[in-house]
Every structure is written in C-alpha cells, then in structure tokens.
C-alpha cells in the first residue's frame, strides 16, 4: 500500500521505465484549509490511472484530465482550484481552501 | 521532469539522504540539490543555497524567489524510523499507532519471551542485544530512539548508540531516580551533560498518562513534537 509520497515517486519511476507515459502533479501552494500539504504528489499515466493524492479526493478527477493533456503536449502547467473559481466550485473543494497544483510530464 | 532526474532523486531517498528538487514552474526546468552539496561551493553562501538550507531545516516545501526567478522547492527528507529497546506492553500499544502515522518501527529485545511475533504481529522484532543489531539498522538524524526496558544492560547500549548517531529524538522510560543513575553511567562512559540532556526522561509528554496505551500516545506525541517543532 502506498502510504506516503516516497512510494509514489518510486512508482512513477517504475511506470516510466516500463514505458508508460507519466505525469507528476505536485501541490505547490495552499491558501486556507487544504487537505494535503504543499509537496504532496499525485502521479498519472497515459491511461488515466493514478496514484497518490493532492486534495483528499476533491479535485483529483480534474487533475487527472489535465494531466492527460500535459502528457499529450509535453508542456507543464499550473492549475488552481478554489472556492473563488467557478470551475473549482463545480469540482468541489469542500474544505473551502484554495490550492495550486503543478503538473509536469516525465520525459 | 526528466526520468533520469527522477531516478537520481529516488536513489537519494532510497539511501535516506535529504534532497531538494528546485523547479522553475514557468519553464519546467528542474534541478536536484543534495543536502551534502550545501556545505561546498557554489551553493554555500549563495541565495539558492540559503533558501534550500532553510527549506530543509523546516522540512517544508514551498516557492522561493531566487535571482528574480520563482522556484518551487520540493523537500524530501527521509521517512522517520523509530527504534525501541523493549518488547514491552507500551511497545505493543505503540506499534499500531506508529504504523498509522507512517513511521517505520524496529523493536529490539534480547529476552526471547518478550520479543515474539505473537506479541507483535507484522512488526520487525529482533530478539537480539542492541549492540549486535544496531550497527545494521543505520540509525541516523531521522531516527527516534526509545528505551523502554528499565534494564540498563539493554537500554544503555541503545542510548549510547542513539546519542552518537544524533537521533532527532531520544527517550528513556524510568523515574527521575532511575534516570539519575542513567545519567551517572553515561557520564562515566564519556558523554557530556549537554549530550545526555538530549534524552527525554521521563519519556513522553506530561499528560498524566496511566495505561500503557496512554503512555504510548504521550511518547508518540513527544516524537512528533520534536520532529515538527525542533528548538
């Protein structure tokens, strides 16, 4: 079982070495209450499989969708989710906080 | 991030060495900085070096501004190891709590009646003397050591090793009187008052704990407090 981020980065390396396309999402900033601390990782492969967490479940779905674009384009991007943002409201960061997530491809 | 860089980072983490990944989130460029590199040129004294050292000290990832560039520093410090002498009742209560928190536990007790897999299902229990097995456990600055046997023959060698290894937390069970005897023995073995002062005794936060499980809570809280709020 993957209980911490260390296992997750090892899994990212294993996935990439097995020839899977992989993106790493990292929480780079939080405002207010946020369920996962800065530095937390979520990894995503080209099929949409993912491991780890950046929000305790609230925005993972949206991050996975963006990660697939990042894998496709090869360009990193920064996403923000929060209650002030209509999109984020829809995906629902129930804790009322705001988070920024950096998503990058493994190349 | 390049796969080679991720592999280098994972190798550092596997070896229990602290490292920081500095990422320019605008360009995607990333660089690995090993804790050991901070002491030498060109990082020592540089703005980047100081920002990385500060992040490592706090164990906290975050964005810093260096030479007009915003860099995200991801801090990787090794996961906490906990080594206990004494396969006792408190250890039985501590083991599942440590698992919950994600700390890696090893229990050492040469008394084979105590150190049994039945008493510690799924845990790493070594029925050996501390001086035999501690060298192989590679205790370090990311290790907490707790002495719980009440028996100087078992606890003292463990405490000495923990002091020498610079464990971030060292705790020892026993009354103030027991501890006074321990202090005298350690001084005879050449440890200074300051070094011995690093031992938390009586062990655990003073919350009036009575049962072994309550004492386990107080010990775990003290370990976490020492880790997260170093003085």
Domain with B154 in it: what CATH number?
3.40.50.720
**Domain endpoint, select from B76, B101, B125:** B76
> What are the C-alpha distances in Å from B164 to residues B5, B133, B134, B223?
33, 15, 12, 18
Q: Kindly state whether residues B33 and B67 are assigned to the same domain.
A: yes
Residue A96 has which token pair? 């009322």
Contact assessment for residue B22 and residue B33, using Cβ atoms and an 8 Å cutoff? yes
Residue of A nearest to B9 (CA): A9
Last residue of a domain, one of B29, B46, B76: B76
Regarding whether B61 and B85 lie in a shared domain, the answer is no
Cβ proximity of B155 and B149 under 8 Å: yes
Q: Do B102 and A3 touch (CB under 8 A)?
A: yes
Which pLDDT tens digit goes with each residue over A41-99? 999 999 999 999 888 777 888 999 999 999 999 999 999 987 555 455 455 555 567 88
A38's CB contacts (< 8 A; 6+ apart) are A27, A28, A29, A30, B60, B61, B62
B224 shares its domain with B166: yes
Distance from CA of B104 to the nearest CA of A (A): 12
Q: What is the SS3 assignment for B162?
A: helix
For residues B202 and B120, state if they share a domain: yes
A23 to chain B, minimum CA–CA distance in Å? 9
Same-domain status, B69 and B86: no
3-state helix, strand, coil in chain A (%, to 5): 30, 30, 40
pLDDT at A102 over 90: yes
Same domain, B180 and B208: yes
Q: Give residue A2's pLDDT.
A: 40
> Which among B54, B76, B98 is the end of a domain?
B76
Are B126 and B148 within one domain?
yes
Distance CA B145, CA B168 (A): 8
How many domains does chain B fold into?
A: 2
B9 and B111 part of one domain: no
Q: Are residues B25 and B99 in the same domain?
A: no
Show the domain range for B12.
3-76
**Could you give the CA distance from residue A73 to residue B136 in angstroms, rounded to a whole number?**
47
CB-based burial, A49-83: b 16+ in 10 Å, e otherwise: ebebbbbeebbbebbbebbbebbeeeebeebbbbe
* Digit-coded pLDDT (tens) for B182-220: 999 999 999 999 999 999 999 999 999 999 999 999 999
Do B10 and B114 fall within a single domain? no
- Check whether B139 has a pLDDT greater than 60: yes
Examine the domain organization and report whether B43 and B91 are in the same domain.
no
Chain A residues 8-67 within an 8 A CB cutoff of chain B? 9-10, 12-13, 16-17, 24, 26, 28-29, 37-39
Please give the pLDDT value at position B59: 82
Same-domain check for residues B125 and B189: yes
Are A15 and A45 within 8 A, CB to CB? yes
């Amino acid at each position: 079982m993957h209980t911490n981020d260390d296992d997750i980065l090892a899994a990212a390396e294993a996935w990439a070495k097995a020839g899977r396309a992989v993106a790493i999402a990292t929480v780079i900033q939080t405002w207010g209450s946020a369920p996962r601390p800065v530095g937390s990782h979520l990894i995503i492969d080209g099929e949409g499989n993912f491991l780890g967490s950046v929000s305790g479940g609230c925005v993972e779905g949206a991050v996975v969708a963006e990660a697939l674009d990042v894998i496709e384009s090869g360009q990193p991007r920064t996403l923000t989710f929060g209650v002030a943002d209509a999109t984020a409201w829809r995906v629902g960061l129930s804790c009322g906080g705001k988070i920024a997530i950096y998503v990058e491809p493994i190349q | 991030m390049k796969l080679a860089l991720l592999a280098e980072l994972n190798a550092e983490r596997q070896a229990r060495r602290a490292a920081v990944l500095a990422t320019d989130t605008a360009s995607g460029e990333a660089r690995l900085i090993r804790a050991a590199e901070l002491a030498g040129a060109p990082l020592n004294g540089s703005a980047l070096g100081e920002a990385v050292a500060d992040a490592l000290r706090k164990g906290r990832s975050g964005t810093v501004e260096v030479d007009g560039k915003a860099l995200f520093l991801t801090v990787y410090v090794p996961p906490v190891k906990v080594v206990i002498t004494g396969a006792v009742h408190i250890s039985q209560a501590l083991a599942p709590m440590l698992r919950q928190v994600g700390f890696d536990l090893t229990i050492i007790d040469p008394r084979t009646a105590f150190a049994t897999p039945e008493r510690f299902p799924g845990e790493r229990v070594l029925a050996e003397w501390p001086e035999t097995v501690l060298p192989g456990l590679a205790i370090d600055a990311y290790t907490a050591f707790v002495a719980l046997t009440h028996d100087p023959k078992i606890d003292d060698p463990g405490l000495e090793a923990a002091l020498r290894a610079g464990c971030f937390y060292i705790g020892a069970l026993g009354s103030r009187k027991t501890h006074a005897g321990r202090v005298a023995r350690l001084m005879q073995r050449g440890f200074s008052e300051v070094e011995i002062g690093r031992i938390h005794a009586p062990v655990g936060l003073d919350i009036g704990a009575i049962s072994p499980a309550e004492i386990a809570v107080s010990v775990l809280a003290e370990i976490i407090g020492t880790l997260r709020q170093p003085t």
